[in-house]
Amino acid sequence: MDWGPVLDPQNPAYPMVRSIVADLRRDFAVWCEKVKEFELESANSTAGAPTEAAQALEADVRALAVDIESYVAEINYLGVAFDVQQLFKGRR
């Protein structure tokens, strides 16, 4: 499965986009694992009294989501056609 934007390797932005997509892929994989950990830890919590571990994992998940959104914004800023839905399809 293709995990990134289609971009001609001769395009001057190619190395930058490739690097951003590599960072995005790495952080997305970590985000998926952190979400799973958070969901498991949340089972030990209540809405009114989350465990410290659940709170820490939630903060990690949110921070990674912000990073992922910034990678997508960078790619869009470079004017590269980028289908986020296709990128994440079946990846959770």
- Tens-place pLDDT, residues 51-92: 999 999 999 999 999 999 999 999 888 888 777 677 666 555
CB 17 within 8 A of CB 75: yes
CB 7 within 8 A of CB 13: yes
Q: Looking at the predicted structure, is the pLDDT value of residue 18 above 90?
A: no
pTM for the full predicted model: 0.79
Cα(53)–Cα(37) distance, integer angstroms: 10
